[in-house]
Amino acid sequence: MKIYETRTAPNPRRVRMFLAEKGIDVDYVQVDIQKGENLSPEMRAKNPLGKIPILELDDGTCIAETDAICTYFEALQPEPPLMGKTPVEKGIISMWQRQVELAFMMQVGMCFQHTTGYFKDRMVPVPEYGEQAGINAAKYLSILERRLANNAYIAGDHFSIADITAVCAIDFARVVKIRIREDHTHLQRWYDAITHRASAKA
């Protein structure tokens, strides 16, 4: 099996960190998204949306979307669990994973794409929307701060995929100058702990 990815992009890092926590090695194929290599007919045959990362199995089956790739590996090798073991754990982790992704990471991405015009060859940037997305992203850090005041990790007592998504998104947010604030002491404590895990360098 192999994974098509762009080393510097935030979603592929989520997959690499997830696999590092599982101790799973996979071959990687680099795709230059800035040049649009991901939009070729060959890549669109693997993923109709023309995005990376994409997991390609040995029989040619392709699974795109970071969350879907992680779902596959979690089912293939449940230990250590990163998406919960009991129904309640699975539900709570899925909730935080999604909220961190949609209310923070995606807002950062929209801010980046719409204010910088990075992908203006393939989309119509709307800077006013990008600014709103940046405001939304910055606000969400206060929700994480409150959550981490009473929890060691984002989804509760245990490290999970939600922590991976959050740390990758926070590092990515530097591109639009959104950072952990000085008064976000719990978030900073959590960030320091997560970035000291070996998987953070994957």
If binding is defined by CB under 8 A, does position 91 make contact with its own copies? Answer: yes
Residues 65 and 172: their CA atoms lie apart, in Å, by: 18
Instruction: Provide, rounded to whole angstroms, the least separation between the CB of residue 47 and its own copies.
Output: 8
Out of 17, 63, 111, 138, which residue is the one contacting its own copies (CB under 8 A)? 63
- Yes or no: say if 160 and 199 are a contact pair by the CB < 8 Å rule: no
- Stretch of 21-29, 71-79, 164-172, 194-202 lying at the interface with its own copies (CB under 8 A): 71-79
Per-residue mark of binding to its own copies, 110-139 (x: CB under 8 A): ----x--------xx-x-xx--x-------
If binding is defined by CB under 8 A, does position 94 make contact with its own copies? Answer: yes
What is the gyration radius of the CA atoms in the chain, in angstroms? 17
If binding is defined by CB under 8 A, does position 86 make contact with its own copies? Answer: yes
Could you tell me which residues come within 8 angstroms of residue 33 by beta carbon, excluding any fewer than 6 positions away?
6, 9, 52
If binding is defined by CB under 8 A, does position 157 make contact with its own copies? Answer: no
Nearer to its own copies, 99 or 199 (CB): 99
If binding is defined by CB under 8 A, does position 151 make contact with its own copies? Answer: no
If binding is defined by CB under 8 A, does position 58 make contact with its own copies? Answer: no
Dihedral sign for Cα 138, 171, 165, 130, please. Answer: positive
80 preceded by a cis bond (ω within 30 of 0): yes
Footprint on residues 11-50 left by its own copies (CB under 8 A): 48-49
Dihedral sign for Cα 82, 15, 193, 186, please. Answer: negative
